[in-house]
Amino acid sequence: MAKVSLQHIYKKFGNNVIAVNDFHLEIEDREFLVLVGPSGCGKSTTLRMIAGLEEISEGDLYIGDRRVNDVAPKDRDIAMVFQSYALYPHMNVYENMAFGLKLRKFSKAEIDKRIQEAARILDISHLLDRKPKALSGGQRQRVALGRAIVREPQVFLMDEPLSNLDAKLRVQMRTEILKLHQRLNTTIIYVTHDQTEAMTMGDRIVVMKDGLIQQVATPTDIYNYPVNQFVASFIGSPAMNFIKGRITEKEGRLVFDAPHIHVSFPEDKAKLLKERGYVNKEVTFGIRPEDIYSDNQFIEANPFDSSIEAVIDVVENMGSELYVYFTNVGETQMVARVDAREGFKPRMSVKLGMDLSKCHVFDSETELAVF
């Protein structure tokens, strides 16, 4: 069993920096867990503590059933893959992959068997006698993965392993690592600052900020039910639109009061807002770009009254869809994702609608989600 359990883990640097603040999580056997967050949020430090490269200030760390706080990195049964690949330049690919196994006194035959098998899985069999400098970035990354695989560890730790690759290769390696995960059937803990990587790879995602876990959930739940405004803004591209305004009651309906935008909440959402005391309070309204519609028919058929008066600033053509940016909703810049066939152009005046079943409201003080 390769369950990894972090129990109230803290990392303090000196007296002032709490890099990781009460990290408490059970990572399941064979789970692909992604730690994601902006620079400095503590994700690498968390991973390095699991690896044993950083001392734990407080709390208990278990790998399987063993408390490993005081166990040396080499005895933790983990393998780590770094962003920098960390290959030995004077050794060829075969020697790089063999190095860790030799240290652990594996027999020559066993080393060879494991290297050939890993090389086959990663499609690098033809590169075994090359030095790292004679490899492309993608090939080096495969070798770094190979070196981890041959160890057959209980847990793989990966710290931004794809960030040095170009965009196309990154997408390709993403799939490779997922396939590898299915094939090896081990636990992977993966650190990235890239929300797309987190969304596409993780069984579960941990979103961190300022050393604190903000939310732990599946990609779908993180996307649809962010617990606060930070998570809502961090996950999703282009990011969720936020508009500040006030909830008021008009003719028996709850409405969101902000310039150039009209929202009359559907029953279930109005009920929640009333129950939680948000009538006549300032809030932040959130709507994802794909939940804004250009289609007039949709607006007319929409039972939950919503509209935005917009003058288009910029249109980004993504091929299958357009990202339409407009700023005349109060002072707020907003963006909508619409069908490329709409033919929207800068300076056009348009009326947009929203799918209010997908809208969010956040407390303007705590930034916690009401829904």
Applying CB under 6 A, the residues found at the interface with ligand ATP are: 13, 17, 19, 37, 39-45, 193
**For ligand ATP, which is the closer residue by CB, 101 or 216?**
216
State the Cα angle at 263 between 262 and 269, rounded to 5°: 175
**For ligand ATP, which is the closer residue by CB, 10 or 225?**
10
For residue 33, the minimal CB distance to ligand ATP (Å) is 15
How far apart are alpha carbons 57 and 45 in whole angstroms? 11
For residue 179, the minimal CB distance to ligand ATP (Å) is 26
For residue 39, the minimal CB distance to ligand ATP (Å) is 3
Shortest-Cβ-distance residue relative to ligand ATP: 44
How far apart are alpha carbons 194 and 186 in whole angstroms? 23
**For ligand ATP, which is the closer residue by CB, 44 or 96?**
44
Q: Which of 161, 44, 166, 143 is nearest to 88 (CA)?
A: 143
Residues 320 and 342 sit within 8 Å (Cβ to Cβ): no
**For ligand ATP, which is the closer residue by CB, 210 or 367?**
210
How far apart are alpha carbons 371 and 368 in whole angstroms? 9
List CB contacts of 80: < 8 A, sequence separation 6 or more. 47, 51, 53, 148, 156, 157, 158, 159
For residue 25, the minimal CB distance to ligand ATP (Å) is 16
Q: Which of 364, 210, 211 is nearest to 284 (CA)?
A: 364
For residue 17, the minimal CB distance to ligand ATP (Å) is 5
For residue 83, the minimal CB distance to ligand ATP (Å) is 9
**For ligand ATP, which is the closer residue by CB, 192 or 302?**
192
For residue 370, the minimal CB distance to ligand ATP (Å) is 29
For residue 198, the minimal CB distance to ligand ATP (Å) is 13
How far apart are alpha carbons 15 and 24 in whole angstroms? 22
Give the DSSP letter of residue 223.
H
State the Cα angle at 211 between 205 and 217, rounded to 5°: 20
Q: Which of 176, 185, 112, 187 is nearest to 139 (CA)?
A: 176
**For ligand ATP, which is the closer residue by CB, 45 or 92?**
45
How far apart are alpha carbons 144 and 80 in whole angstroms? 9
Handedness of CA 285, 288, 293, 298 (dihedral sign): negative
Residue with tokens 């559907």: 266
Neighbours of 96 (CB within 10 A): 25
**For ligand ATP, which is the closer residue by CB, 42 or 286?**
42
For residue 205, the minimal CB distance to ligand ATP (Å) is 14
User: What are the DSSP calls for 178-204, one per residue?
Assistant: HHHHHHH--EEEEEES-HHHHHHH-SE
- Using DSSP's 3-state secondary structure scheme, residue 345 falls into coil
